[in-house]
Amino acid sequence: MEISGADIIIAARYIGAGLAMAGASGAGAGIGLVVGGAVQALGRNPDAAPLIQTTMILGIAFAEAIAIYALAIAFIILFVTIG
């Protein structure tokens, strides 16, 4: 069995897509930290719930956007061929 250049390129694409999805795990951790901080803040100051909740939802949206960007990059790496 001989490994050709095309096989190496395909393997590199799979590895690159997997590495691109590492951003999704970071986004998951970020969302957990945001929600945990918001729960602590609500426990300490329940009167500020509307402001804390709005800020929390905004933070979750930004973290989720990073995961979506990582997914888009992974799809580009997998499915876009050059040449």
Q: Each residue of 16-75: pLDDT tens digit?
A: 999 999 888 888 898 999 999 999 999 999 999 999 999 999 999 998 999 999 999 999
Which has the closest alpha carbon to 17: 67, 73, 74, 66? 74
With tokens 């580009």, the residue in question is: 76
In this structure, what token pair is assigned to residue 17? 């897509």
Task: Confirm if 14 and 7 have CB atoms less than 8 A apart.
Answer: no
Helix, strand counts (H, E) of the chain: 3, 0
pTM, two decimals, is 0.77
Question: How far is Cα 18 from Cα 20, in angstroms, rounded to an integer?
Answer: 5
Note the pLDDT tens digit of each residue in 57-72: 999 999 899 999 999 9
- State yes or no: pLDDT of 83 exceeds 80: no
Domain 26-83: assigned CATH number:
1.20.20.10
Which residues contact residue 20 at a Cβ distance below 8 angstroms, ignoring those fewer than 6 apart?
70, 73, 74, 77
